[in-house]
Amino acid sequence: MTALAVQHTYFNQARNGRRWLLRRNTLGNYNIMRPTADEPLARCPANIPPARPFISPPDGKTLDDLRREGEDRYGPDPYD
């Protein structure tokens, strides 16, 4: 599965001790869920509608376009 992660920094796979809680969104991709400390973790019901995406590309663009623009600006991997 491919998931777009927009973070304040790059994700270092060597330190990947984190589990991502994902929910499908209306673009067919996934949002990362961030429950509060006192919120119980539970699976979404099967009949729940997809979430609104955190990032919606402008008309005529896709999430892949946004990712490519980010790679053009910042490089594909800052750890190389």
3-state helix/strand/coil string of the chain: CCCCCCCCCCCCHHHCCCCCCEEEECCCCEEECCCCCCCCCCCCCCCCCCECCCCCCCCCCCHHHHHHHHHHHHCCCCCC
38 is a domain residue: yes
Q: What is the pTM of this model?
A: 0.48
Rounded to an integer, what distance in angstroms lies between the CA atom of residue 79 and that of residue 37? 32
Q: Which residue has the higher pLDDT, 40 or 51?
A: 51
Residue 16 has pLDDT above 80, yes or no: no
11 is a domain residue: no
31 is a domain residue: yes
8 is a domain residue: no
56 is a domain residue: yes
Rounded to an integer, what distance in angstroms lies between the CA atom of residue 17 and that of residue 43? 21
Which residue range forms the structural domain that includes residue 67?
17-80
25 is a domain residue: yes
Residue 7 pLDDT: 58
Residue 15 has pLDDT above 80, yes or no: no
55 is a domain residue: yes
Q: Could you give the number of structural domains in the chain?
A: 1
12 is a domain residue: no
Where does the pLDDT of residue 70 fall: very low under 50, low under 70, confident under 90, or very high at 90 and above? confident
Residue 39 pLDDT: 77
